Structure 1
Amino acid sequence: MDSLAEYTSAGPRNRRPRRTAVRAVTAGAVVLAVAAGGAYAAGLGPFARDTGPDPAAGKQARAFLADWAAGRLPSAAARTTSPGAAGRVMDSFTAGLEITEPALKAEAATEAEDGTVTVPFTARMPVTGLGTWTYESKLPLRQQSDGTWKVAWKLSVVHPRLSGTEKFRLEREETKPPEVIDRQGTALFGDELPSLAPLMARLGQNGTDSGARGAIHLVDRATGDVERTEARFGARTVRHKGPVRTTLHAGWQSAAEQALATHAEGKNAALVALRIDDGEILAVANSPASGFNRALSGTYAPGSTWKIVTSSALLLKDAVKPDDVVDCPQYLTVGKRFQNVELSEHPGATFHKDFTESCNTAFISLRDRLYDGELGDVARKYFGVGQEWHVGAPTYDGSVPAPKDETEKAASMIGQGRVQANPLLMASVTATAVSGTFHQPSLTDGNEDKTTTTPLPRGVVTQVRAMLRATVTDGTANVLSDLPGEIGAKTGTAEVSDAQDNNGWLVAHRGNVAVACVVEEGVTGGGSAGPIVHSLLAAASGDPE
């Protein structure tokens, strides 16, 4: 089946007069600039010469490309002259062509006589399960009336051949999907379990070229006729000998699909359930079921579910104890103002209560007790985050970059900033936290495991488990409190942009199963992801063998 990417044209843009600057200086002014120090030497003072494009234009171009590459499409769109159209086109382009983790490299900027600054860039676009599409394009930037620079939006910003009359279409080779069975030998069918349909043909692929075939075509928007082929992938057809045995459980998969169908309310959402003692995946479900696999390959800020990792990092070095008082004010300013959901506050709260009530300001106040980059080091060393996973299907395995400044460090403490995850990764984080040992998740048998991790100390595991349990009995995950079993959970609310509602998260564990769910624009974790996880755990009782 074809995957289509549809686009809309941006309207005309008014041209602005070319930026002017002083182009000559006296010898005395040069001496004064040197004497005044580095700011003038760098061209920042009033006597600076205009020797090229305004550096602010290039900075804006690089920020646009960085946002696009990281999947922060609303932020990227806001850097253009037409945020609404830009956001729709970029989302359609990446989702419709099944592009994940773009690599975008800016080149040197040039300036035209009309004041437009152009920044060429090279795009490397990984197409899920096929290979990488590489092409070159250009970003035009214009200075706005307030002096800032923005990308002058037009369709060719995304690709030089994208226009109002031509679009791109991804076509995969029509091959008979392999027979797929679950862990107990039960046959799995895509028409009965729709989230599995797009996954079945890619089983055994770990995000690399695996022999699958396909192409990206430039087609006429009106007729659908192929005008040219932009990229081809693969040289042979994947052939499977016999059924592909998976770790999935038909009952859990069916319950996961039904939970999303009933409670996602038309929003984009994804869910993963896996076994705690070995990482074997029991269910992978997406809403909508077709297209991009958000559950395994999505890139989201995990929000407060990440406090599981942050708490582990703090407890590992005895930087805080659960009974220590860590005040929870409504606001805390670290370069920008951070606040708690619904502006809640808990004066004199213990760290234990800060966790169960998901207090952002309390966690941010503890940032100086971790060195820069320590959160990422703990995530990698103990939880396997950012290492290369071989699951049996293409996945995104998380990223926790070292913070660039104090504001970013504060954001990372609560799963924001540049911290990136998805339901697979957060289900694994939950399983690791409550067992103490990371197990590379698996969807099929015999996957190579290149990960190297260290077990969490038993004392840390005991403390985290107690806080997860209290979050259900007395905290923000109370939505699960009526279910049987010793359930522990953590909610999360992740900011996306000023133009979008927050994403809602919930992770949970019961018995030998860990679950993670995200609902895009779900507003709160308990209110959006909570009913989905509740439905799953209510329907799929008992530990699967």
Structure 2
Amino acid sequence: MPRSGATAPATTRRRRPRPVVRTVTSVAVVSAVVVGGSYAAGLGPFARGATDAEPAALAQARAFLADWAAGRLPDAAGRTTRPATAQEVLRNFTAGLDIRRPTLTVAAAPTQAADDTVDVPFTATMPIADLGTWTYRSKLPLRQRSDGSWKVDWSLSVVHPRLSGTKKFHLEREDTGATPNVTDRKGASLSATTFPSLDPVLRQLDAGTDAGGARGAIQLVDRATGKVTRTEATFAKKPDRPARRPVRTTLDATWQAAAEKALASGAHGRNASLVALRIDNGEILAMANSPSSGFNRAVSGTYAPGSTWKIVTSSALLLKGAVAPSDVVDCPKYLTVGKEFHNVETSEHRNATFLKDFTESCNTAFISLRGKLGDRELGDVAGKYFGVGQKWRVGIASYDGSVPAPRDETEQAASMIGQGRIQANPLIMASVTATAVSGTFHQPSITHGNQNTTSTAPLPRKVVAQLRTMLRTTVTDGTARGLAGLPGDIGAKTGTAEVSDDEPNNGWLAAHRGNVALACVVEQGVTGGGSAGPVIRDLLTAAPADPS
């Protein structure tokens, strides 16, 4: 159960934080398009011996493939017998191998297998970023549950027939001799040697800028020894454009160096990421990941934001006058809404004000206010004022959040505290914080001149003032006290997000100081204040001044 800041209902589906597929190089790609969701043309009737149940199994298989292709990984995983494991594998396979916009289509009629499953063959067309397309065949085994529903019977071979507990895939890119031609905001050269966390970012930004072309291969390797046992696909892409001028980013070398150092020392070997951006225009100053190579969790991660999401929930409540900071909203140890929710270490704050509930991250108090918001209201506020769920054009591939309407009262309760099916990442939560304290959403960006197709409204000044007070009080007299000794008018919100019953919680912290907003997540960090807090503290200590 959660120990700080958030709980999740039994229906919540979360990935397990330890990657199953590790790669040397990866570009974060979670955004994808829905393809292959309709019945494959020309399949004809079911195979001989088919049962009446097979149309339902096929429908579930098609839905799984459509969700996977569209990047709706929690939904895809929820259609399997092992949601947490499935989401982890799908995320790392798709993003870790630099797969963009996969096309997944049913390839043949379903057949009845000997183990009472229904097998649905499918074709996977996987475009590998800046290299080429990898196409292969696999199959989905569907098993009927006691309630009559069908689920994908999860195993690693669902993703690819050769993926197993002893074998994994590795994307090897060949060095063409060209060096990334990317600079920071002041023109200083940025390299993966100096800034390891930027390796996947630099590859995206610099793709196609040299005349050397691109070469690479997808290899099947032994998990224990790392020995290549088979080459699945090779790529040799010819250059399609001449060399161009250096790409100047919004990154700040000083902040990036501080971010990488803070995360390297504070993550303690756990998966983690952080983002720092300017409040006045959304320009990204730094992003870092641990491990430094591989999946870019900072901008393409899909996490439950936990209690940092209470910034958005509070905004929704304050906007409609449903509550005021001084109102008494009791904070009991437990509250049952389809399942039992509780607070950090089952703490309670009787007769607490809403301000106290926020600063101490009281789950039960926030959940008790769920009736004040309509089913879609939280998502509407997130999109209208914070841009969450709209399409962001950051300059690199990004996941821009999801706040679906709750399917039942338990999920509605969970969504009030950043659980349920709400998905975010450090880029989103840094942007949410920037919007909360300024009143205006600015599309985050890492390059200049990106098209902005978002449409948002400014938060009322009264709500902004209330949010700033609540965030500041969380530092001076709440769960973010670890930042209290630093200079500057710092505000923050901690968060802890439940992953599964058998995994430690993820730790979150979102903060602002001066013209900078930040957010950090530490997988298996247990508490936000105890894991993400020290990382943000080290970063703010090392980079004391606002960037010019």
TM-score by length of 1: 0.80
Q: What does residue 170 of structure 1 align with?
A: 171
- Contact kept? 2:393, 2:452, Cα under 8 Å: yes
CA spacing shift, 1:373–1:124, aligned 2, 3 Å: farther
1:309 Cα deviation (Å)?
A: 0.8
1:504 Cα deviation (Å)?
A: 0.4
Q: Structure 1 CA distance, aligned partners of 2:196 and 2:528?
A: 25
Q: Structure 2 CA distance, aligned partners of 1:80 and 1:138?
A: 17
- 1:184 pairs, out of 183, 186, 192, with 186
Q: Which amino acid aligns with 1:326?
A: V
Q: How many correspondences in the alignment?
A: 493
1:306 Cα deviation (Å)?
A: 0.7
CA spacing shift, 1:238–1:160, aligned 2, 3 Å: farther
CA spacing shift, 1:77–1:534, aligned 2, 3 Å: farther
Q: Structure 2 CA distance, aligned partners of 1:406 and 1:126?
A: 40
Q: What does residue 197 of structure 2 align with?
A: 195
Q: Which has the higher contact order (CA 8 A, sep 6+)?
A: 2
Q: Structure 1 CA distance, aligned partners of 2:353 and 2:511?
A: 22
Q: What does residue 118 of structure 2 align with?
A: 117
CA spacing shift, 1:453–1:71, aligned 2, 3 Å: same
1:177 Cα deviation (Å)?
A: 3.1
Q: What does residue 406 of structure 2 align with?
A: 403
Unaligned stretches of 5+ in structure 2?
1-21, 26-50
- Contact kept? 1:71, 1:101, Cα under 8 Å: no
Q: Which amino acid aligns with 2:419?
A: Q
Q: What does residue 445 of structure 1 align with?
A: 448
Q: What does residue 19 of structure 1 align with?
A: none
CA spacing shift, 1:399–1:157, aligned 2, 3 Å: same
TM-score by length of 2: 0.79
Q: What does residue 510 of structure 1 align with?
A: 513
Q: What does residue 485 of structure 1 align with?
A: 488
- 1:383 pairs, out of 383, 386, 390, with 386
Deviations 1:193-226 (A, max 9, x none): 1112332121278xxxxx9856553547586365
Q: What does residue 16 of structure 1 align with?
A: none
- Contact kept? 1:104, 1:121, Cα under 8 Å: yes
1:356 Cα deviation (Å)?
A: 0.6
- 1:267 pairs, out of 262, 267, 270, with 270
CA spacing shift, 1:480–1:160, aligned 2, 3 Å: same
1:148-163 paired onto structure 2 within 5 Å: 152=153, 154-162=155-163
Unaligned stretches of 5+ in structure 1?
6-49, 206-210
Give the secondary-structure state (helix, strand or coil) at the position aligned to 2:391: coil
Q: Structure 2 CA distance, aligned partners of 1:129 and 1:3?
A: 16
CA spacing shift, 1:333–1:131, aligned 2, 3 Å: farther
Give the secondary-structure state (helix, strand or coil) at the position aligned to 1:329: coil
Q: What does residue 313 of structure 1 align with?
A: 316
Q: What does residue 350 of structure 2 align with?
A: 347
Q: Which amino acid aligns with 1:440?
A: Q
Q: Structure 2 CA distance, aligned partners of 1:88 and 1:441?
A: 26
RMSD of equivalent CA atoms? 3.7
CA spacing shift, 1:502–1:212, aligned 2, 3 Å: farther
1:130-529 paired onto structure 2 within 5 Å: 136-142=137-143, 152=153, 154-162=155-163, 168-172=169-173, 174-175=175-176, 176-203=178-205, 213=214, 217=218, 219=220, 221=222, 224=228, 227-229=231-233, 236-237=239-240, 240-529=243-532
- Contact kept? 1:4, 1:168, Cα under 8 Å: no
Deviations 1:293-312 (A, max 9, x none): 11111111111101111111
Give the secondary-structure state (helix, strand or coil) at the position aligned to 1:187: coil
Q: Which has the larger displacement, 302-311 or 127-136?
A: 127-136
Q: What does residue 30 of structure 1 align with?
A: none
1:63-142 paired onto structure 2 within 5 Å: 70-72=72-74, 79-80=81-82, 93-94=93-94, 96-99=96-99, 110-112=111-113, 114-121=115-122, 123=124, 127=128, 136-142=137-143
Deviations 1:13-36 (A, max 9, x none): xxxxxxxxxxxxxxxxxxxxxxxx
Q: Structure 1 CA distance, aligned partners of 2:352 and 2:333?
A: 12
CA spacing shift, 1:423–1:89, aligned 2, 3 Å: closer
Larger radius of gyration, structure 1 or 2? Answer: 1
Q: Which amino acid aligns with 2:205?
A: L
Q: Structure 1 CA distance, aligned partners of 2:494 and 2:167?
A: 44
1:532 Cα deviation (Å)?
A: 0.2
1:377 Cα deviation (Å)?
A: 1.1
1:51 Cα deviation (Å)?
A: 3.6
- Contact kept? 2:73, 2:87, Cα under 8 Å: no
Give the secondary-structure state (helix, strand or coil) at the position aligned to 1:508: strand
Q: Structure 1 CA distance, aligned partners of 2:353 and 2:125?
A: 48
Q: Which amino acid aligns with 1:254?
A: A
CA spacing shift, 1:154–1:63, aligned 2, 3 Å: closer
Q: What does residue 6 of structure 2 align with?
A: none
Deviations 1:475-499 (A, max 9, x none): 1111100111110000010111112
- Contact kept? 1:338, 1:360, Cα under 8 Å: yes
- Contact kept? 1:391, 1:440, Cα under 8 Å: yes
Q: Which amino acid aligns with 2:228?
A: G
Q: Which has the larger displacement, 354-363 or 174-183?
A: 174-183
CA spacing shift, 1:164–1:300, aligned 2, 3 Å: closer
1:393 Cα deviation (Å)?
A: 1.5
Q: What does residue 33 of structure 1 align with?
A: none
Q: Structure 1 CA distance, aligned partners of 2:118 and 2:454?
A: 45
CA spacing shift, 1:193–1:416, aligned 2, 3 Å: same
Q: What does residue 10 of structure 2 align with?
A: none
Q: Structure 2 CA distance, aligned partners of 1:340 and 1:67?
A: 34
